[in-house]
Structure 1
Amino acid sequence: MNGSFAFELPLMHITFGITFLIAARWGERSALFFGIAFLCNAGGFGLPVMPMGLSDSAVAWVTDILFAISFLCFGQAAAEHFGVGRRWLWWRLAICATSIALCMIAVIGFDDLHAELLASDAGCVLLLGMPLLAVRWKGLRRFDRWLLGASWMVTFESVVRGASSLFTAPGQVEAFQTSRYAYLMQALGSVCGVIFAMAGLAAVALSVLARYRTMAMTDPLSGLLNRRGFEEAIIDRPDWRDRPTSIVTCDIDSFKAVNDRFGHMAGDAVIGALGAIIRGRLPEGGIAARFGGEEFLLFLPGQSPAQSLRIAEALRATLEAEGGRAAGIDARITASFGVSGAVVSDYSVHDAIGRADAALYEAKHGGRNRVALKLFEAVDQAPAQRAATRTPSAGCQASSTRMSA
């Protein structure tokens, strides 16, 4: 093995390993396994050139153990990152143990380097390749595709290296360090290791950023978007003018009384229960958000006011029937709803939100626990005039429809 480079390669993998372990503190589980894997790799590459007084056989089987654990962790890192979880974990643990056992038999029992390398490389291929088989390319984010491609590259590199061992490795374990196989392992390990590590670090970092962005856009109590998340979401939905679109606003009735009687934790549970009910009945393509306190909003593209009225009534009835039980309190929980349709002449979605708020106000003052509808009366206005005169009730036709409790 090349002297100076033989020391640089372990140091490079140690650096990658420490970097991933630091990244693991951000809460990304895959980074922990990446870190352990690269540190084991560093030991596997560095042990043969370290003056530790060990026999060649001892160095060989310890190195095989380190590489097997390394690829087991690489596979688990990929499984964690791509959401595969623990699929085939027990099989991979069995493969890891079998690979190590076969390597030890080949080294200690027969001094057969070819058999040792084939057992080691085959184990590495299976340990990393098996989780990758469960990952589907379609639907992956760009940086996840880079990581998946780099993972398959490392798997293929292990296949090529293992197949070449019959021609590049000597027959005895003692001659390994000066063999062409050792040089090939160094060269491929450096190139593929850097690409794999860079892809892994990018995927982990971007995944952490995406998670924090989601947390910033999501209300933790209801599991729905918060106000900022809603504003971001509708920016990506400019087609609402091209098809029927409705807004539903919601406000939990007498929410302060719930907090006063049962405590704020119970109030949080009520918000969570309503959030779960909304998520369960939200039509495909709909956007739901908690705007603050006990106020909720649904943006329903493709739904007419009449359809949205039925959706709101279903939410109202479900909350009344199940809300208290779902929140774990002995109380009847109700909410009032306002519905309005968006029209082409609206200056923005907030015009329709204003009308839905006005309908909600009518539902509240009409006795609560009901749904009210407010329709738009078309008026031909210039955009500047509409912007100047826009109010929650501007251009609205007072049409309140009670959906009785």
Structure 2
Amino acid sequence: MTEVETVSAKQVVPDDPALHESMADTLASRGDWRGAYEHLRAALELQRTQPPPLPEQFRREVDRLRRERAQALEESLRDGLTTVYNRRYLDRRLDDLLTEPRGPLAVALVDIDLFKNVNDTFGHLAGDQVLRRVAMLLREGLPQHGFCARYGGEEFMLVLPAVQPDDAVRVAEGARTRVAEHPWSALWPGLSVTISVGLAYEAESAFGDRRQVLEADHLLYAAKHAGRNRVAYRDWSDAAVIGYCP
């Protein structure tokens, strides 16, 4: 084999030391010592520049650390009591949704009615159980890309991107109905729980800030003022509507 042929053979396996060594053995068996030498030299150069193979136990350890890091990141964005998203995640996502160009967005601020009475009457253990159960009920029936987060205390927020107004109302009213009709007395005899909801909807990124959240807060106050266990929102004429199903 000529020197030109040797170079050509090396180019076929430019970055695999094992293949260079195999070709060196083949050429040596044919008496082509020059070609064998060239391939051995290429193999040595590659072994010096390539990182050593990672032992299997190290590979497993790296995979474990990656999984633990991903789990820790997910847990840092979850509320410890209710397991829905926490305020940190909510603020981050709202900043993205309210400041970047987007389509429709509905935000529903949810408050557990007379929650202090639950703690005072049944105790804080019951209050924690109510918070967990309400969070579970709020998560049911959310549309794609929608999520629930704990806003603070006994308040939650439903964030519903890319929904139409009627669908947003149905989601909010569905959440209110599930909570009102839940068999709370099976949890604690004599217990009943309802929620009030303020629903703010925007067809486009019109505000560019947190005014939509403030609108939801004002509507929540209207629902409370109207007697609780209600969903308050604005219709197409921008008039406040208070929905209620006894």
1:262 maps to which residue? 122
Deviations 1:293-312 (A, max 9, x none): 10000110121232111111
- Specify which of 185, 192, 206 is matched with residue 345 of structure 1: 206
Give the alignment of 1:176-255 within 5 angstroms. 194-234=54-94, 241-255=101-115
1:341 is paired with a residue whose SS is: strand
Task: Say what the alpha-carbon RMSD is for the aligned residues.
Answer: 2.4
1:315 maps to which residue? 175
Deviations 1:14-69 (A, max 9, x none): xxxxxxxxxxxxxxxxxxxxxxxxxxxxxxxxxxxxxxxxxxxxxxxxxxxxxxxx
1:281 is paired with a residue whose SS is: coil
The structure whose residues are more often strand, as a share, is 2
Report the Cα distance in structure 1 between the residues aligned to 2:92 and 2:57, rounded to whole angstroms.
33
1:399 maps to which residue? 240
| Cα gap change, 1:265 to 1:274, in 2 (>3 Å) | same
1:279 aligns with 2:139: yes
Per the normalisation by structure 2, the TM-score is 0.71
Aligned residues: 194
Q: Percent identical across equivalent pairs? A: 31
Report the Cα distance in structure 2 between the residues aligned to 1:204 and 1:279, rounded to whole angstroms.
30
- Specify which of 226, 230, 240 is matched with residue 366 of structure 1: 226
2:242 is paired with a residue whose SS is: coil
Letter paired with 2:76:
A
Report the Cα distance in structure 2 between the residues aligned to 1:339 and 1:258, rounded to whole angstroms.
25
Give the alignment of 1:2-401 within 5 angstroms. 194-234=54-94, 241-322=101-182, 324-325=184-185, 327-342=187-202, 343-348=204-209, 350-374=210-234, 397-401=238-242
Report the Cα distance in structure 2 between the residues aligned to 1:297 and 1:363, rounded to whole angstroms.
15
1:249 is paired with a residue whose SS is: strand
Report the Cα distance in structure 1 between the residues aligned to 2:236 and 2:58, rounded to whole angstroms.
55
Letter paired with 1:222:
T
Q: CA deviation at 1:314?
A: 0.9
The structure whose residues are more often helix, as a share, is 1
Deviations 1:156-188 (A, max 9, x none): xxxxxxxxxxxxxxxxxxxxxxxxxxxxxxxxx
- Structure 2 segments unaligned to the other structure (5+ residues): 1-51
Q: Which has the higher contact order (CA 8 A, sep 6+)?
A: 2
Q: CA deviation at 1:232?
A: 3.0
Q: CA deviation at 1:243?
A: 2.1
